[in-house]
DNA sequence: CTTTGCACCTGTTGGC
DNA sequence: TGCCAACAGGTGCAAA
């Protein structure tokens, strides 16, 4: 589910409500997420104040004085603010009860998400250490992408979705950005000129910003921290639009399988 | 080192 | 209505 815009929507939605709040208790109903949730998480966090809510790629970072909690939403997760007494629904795996009676509640049907505590410098965490630059930062440039693509035969779409190259770009936005840049998703990354990477970098930035503005993309079950869906789905240019007319040239959008992921592209606009 | 494919898990959808 | 296969927003890891 969540790519960068959905995680950022969640971050913005919870930040003002939880910063400065004290965690009174953590209730773990299902510890078997992608990695087991630490059994002593409640002892670790009880009485501690949430100082900041950050994001690195698709990881949400809850900053405390003595460490950081990494929260990943996986494919189907969402994090909502609810009244602490609200009865849990199925797949409501973790609650962070706060000192104002509210609770942060993690719901994740597929359980690909993660909740991990780290006491050390968060940037040194094994899962974060090797990540590529943020797509909305200066470090993500055409020169950088071009250099990373040098001598690589992988499809450009795979490269774009590789978090070690750039974080936050998942299947939906990779498809959208390649359409906007006029690049065929299966083109070998090493066979794309610098000028075309300029277009691609701009397209990635534009589509992510548009999606953040719309509150993310809800295909099935994504909801922000207030329980409302994102509205970017209606602005999708190619994703999920197989056989539908290209919004630019009317050619039927084509579907393709790359790896285990669905790709959508316009055979006329993308080369 | 690069590339490919699997694994993790539940739920929905479409074909027969 | 039931059953089964395919597919879904991610990504670490093993194997080739």
The Cα–Cα gap between A252 and A249 comes to 9
Q: Is the CB of A221 under 7 A from strand C?
A: yes
Of A98, A129, A160, the last residue of a domain is A129
Where among A129, A162, A181 does a domain terminate?
Answer: A129
- On the question of pLDDT at A175 being above 90, the answer is yes
Nearest-angstrom CA–CA distance, A181 and A144: 17
Is A261 catalytic? The answer is yes
Provide, in whole angstroms, the distance separating residue A109's CA from nucleotide B8's C1': 12
CATH no. for residue A50? 3.20.190.10
The residue among A96, A57, A97, A53 whose CA lies nearest residue A73 is A57
Q: Summarize the confidence of residues A30-51 as an average pLDDT.
A: 98
For residue A261, tell me if it sits in a domain. Answer: yes
Cβ–Cβ under 8 Å, residues A119 and A66: yes
Q: How far is CA A251 from CA A205, A244, A266, in A?
A: 26, 8, 7
State which residue has its Cα closest to the C1' atom of B12. A220
Q: Are strands A67-72 and A114-118 parallel, antiparallel or unpaired?
A: antiparallel
Smallest CA-to-CA distance from A61 within A134, A11, A120 is with: A11
Q: Is A245 considered catalytic here? A: no
Structural domains of chain A, count: 2
Across residues A238-255, what is the average pLDDT? 96
A21 a catalytic residue? no
Same domain membership, residue A165 and residue A74: no
The protein footprint on chain B, as nucleotides within 7 A of a CB, is 2-12
- Between the alpha carbon of residue A154 and those of residues A165, A171, A174, A238, the distances in Å are 12, 16, 14, 21
Nucleotides of C under 7 A from a protein CB: 7-12
The verdict on A117 and A223 lying in the same domain is: no
Nucleotide nearest the Cα atom of A59 (by C1'): C10
Measure, in angstroms, how far nucleotide B13 C1' is from residue A256 CA.
Answer: 19
Tell whether A184 and A105 lie within a shared domain: no
Q: Are A33 and A99 in contact (CB under 8 A)?
A: no
A18 shares its domain with A102: yes
Assess whether A199 carries a catalytic annotation: no
Q: pLDDT at residue A133 above 70?
A: yes
The pLDDT of residue A1? 61
C-beta atoms surrounding A260 within 10 Å: 5
User: Which residues of the protein have their beta carbon within 7 Å of strand B?
Assistant: A 32, 34, 76, 90-91, 109-112, 152-155, 158, 220, 259-260
Residue A196: domain span: 142-265
Instruction: Judge if A185 and A147 occupy the same domain.
Output: yes
Stretch A171-192: mean pLDDT, rounded? 97
Is residue A217 scored above 80 in pLDDT? yes
pLDDT of residue A55: 98
**Residues A57, A153 share a domain:** no
pLDDT of residue A223: 87
A120 and A82 together in one domain? yes
Q: Is A137 a domain residue?
A: no
* Residues near A213 by beta carbon (within 8 Å), at least 6 away in sequence: none
Using the structure, give the distance in angstroms from the CA atom of A113 to the C1' atom of C8, rounded to a whole number.
15
In a domain, A160, yes or no: yes
Is A160 in the same domain as A56? no
Considering the domain architecture, whether residues A113 and A158 belong to the same structural domain is answered as: no
A136 within domain boundaries: no
Residue predicted with more confidence, A28 or A227 = A28
Proportion of chain A above pLDDT 70, given as a percent? 100
Q: Are A125 and A147 members of one domain? A: no
Same domain, A14 and A53: yes
User: Residues A146, A124: one domain?
Assistant: no
Mean pLDDT of chain A: 96
Question: How far is it, in rounded angstroms, from Cα A258 to Cα A245?
Answer: 22
- Residue A134 covered by a domain: no
Give the CATH number for residue A165.
Answer: 1.10.8.50
């Amino acid at each position: 589910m969540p790519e960068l815009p959905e995680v950022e929507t969640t971050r913005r939605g919870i930040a003002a409500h939880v910063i400065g709040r004290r965690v009174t208790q953590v209730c773990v109903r299902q510890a078997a997420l992608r990695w087991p949730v630490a059994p002593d998480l409640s002892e670790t966090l009880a009485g501690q104040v949430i100082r900041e809510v950050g994001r690195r790629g698709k990881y949400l970072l809850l900053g405390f004085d003595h460490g950081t909690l990494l929260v990943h939403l996986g494919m189907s997760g969402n994090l909502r603010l609810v009244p602490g007494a609200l009865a849990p629904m199925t797949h409501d795996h973790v609650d962070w009860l706060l000192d104002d009676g509210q609770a942060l509640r993690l719901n994740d049907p597929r359980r690909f998400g993660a909740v991990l505590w780290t006491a050390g410098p968060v940037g040194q965490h094994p899962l974060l250490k090797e990540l590529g630059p943020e797509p909305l930062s200066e470090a993500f440039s055409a020169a950088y992408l071009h250099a990373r693509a040098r001598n690589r035969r992988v499809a450009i779409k795979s490269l774009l979705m590789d978090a070690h190259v750039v974080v936050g770009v998942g299947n939906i936005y990779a498809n959208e950005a390649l359409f906007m840049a006029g690049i065929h998703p299966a083109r070998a990354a090493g066979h794309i000129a610098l000028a075309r990477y300029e277009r691609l970098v701009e397209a990635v930035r534009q589509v992510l910003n548009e999606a953040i503005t719309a509150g993310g993309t809800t295909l099935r079950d994504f909801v922000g921290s207030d329980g409302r869906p994102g509205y970017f789905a209606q602005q999708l240019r190619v994703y999920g639009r197989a056989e539908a007319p290209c919004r630019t040239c009317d050619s039927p959008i084509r579907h393709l399988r790359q790896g285990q992921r669905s790709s959508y592209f316009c055979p006329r606009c993308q080369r």
